[in-house]
Amino acid sequence: MTQDIFAKLPADRLILASTSQTRQSMLAAAGVAFDVQAAPVDEAGLRDAALAEDMAKDDIAVMLAEMKAQAVSMRLPSGDDSYVLGADQLLVCDDQIFAKPATATAAAQHLHALSGKTHQLITAAVIFRQGQRIWHHIESANMYMRPLDDDFITAYIEAMGDAALHSPGAYQIEGLGAHLFSQITGCHYAILGLPLLQILGFLRPHGLVPHGLVPHGLVPGGLTPAGSSS
């Protein structure tokens, strides 16, 4: 019975426009089937152009997520009505956006800059269908980093290795990064890179969650949950 309830959907119904392993793991753990396509987007160039135009940080996050979803959606074959999910996350401290560090030295510099301060993680998600944006959501979390001394930062960067280069703050909160903080406020899933609860809230009435989890009568016309007979 449990297997039937959590039967997965065809993988071509939802496309994740991201190669992030963390985002993929969150969707998979929630029982959502999906395909993955990398989004050919110049994130750094788009971000720099937006900053030059003094665009609000929240708007930049949404714009970047939208560009990813749009890029994948627009290259789908004509008539493909797959839902395409794009996401982006910005780390903002003292009104500055931090990019991923390129070296261990840069990662240490980021931690020195964030030490003893509160920074924000702004996470945006956008869904496209047939080349049009049909949904978006944005979340912000406050990350209270405790004061870090030089010895701790050096030891931490050594322990993290290349993983310190995978995020702007040189941390993954689900791992050693937990040692950096005294307090966190915000959605755990959004901090990891996807506002998962809101995404699932969108997917349910559109028939894009495991069969058996869609309340009767909420599936829109023309969509049949996977595993149902038509």
> Which tens digits make up the pLDDT trace of 3-18?
444 444 444 489 999 9
* Torsion, Cα of 41, 47, 49, 52 (10° steps): 180
- Quick one: pLDDT at residue 13? 83
In this prediction, residues 92-99 reach a mean pLDDT of 97
H or E stretch at 121: strand 118-129
pLDDT tens digit sequence for 143-180: 999 999 999 999 999 999 999 999 999 999 999 999 99
The C-alpha atoms of residue 131 and residue 84 are separated, in whole angstroms, by 9
Known catalytic residues are 88
- pTM for the whole thing? 0.84
Phi-psi sector, 90: left (phi>0), alpha (psi -120 to 50), beta: beta
Least confident of 58-62, 105-109, 218-222: 218-222
pLDDT in tens, 210-229: 655 544 444 443 333 333 33
Position 212 scores a pLDDT of 55
Q: Where does 2-206 sit in CATH, by number? A: 3.90.950.10
145: which strand partners?
181
Question: Contact 133/126 with Cβ under 8 angstroms?
Answer: yes
The pLDDT score that the predictor gives to residue 211 is 54
| Every domain of the chain and the residues it spans | 2-206
Beta bridge mates, 93: 96
CB-count exposure of residue 79 (10 Å: 0-12, 13-18, 19+):
exposed
Structure tokens at 180: 């950096």
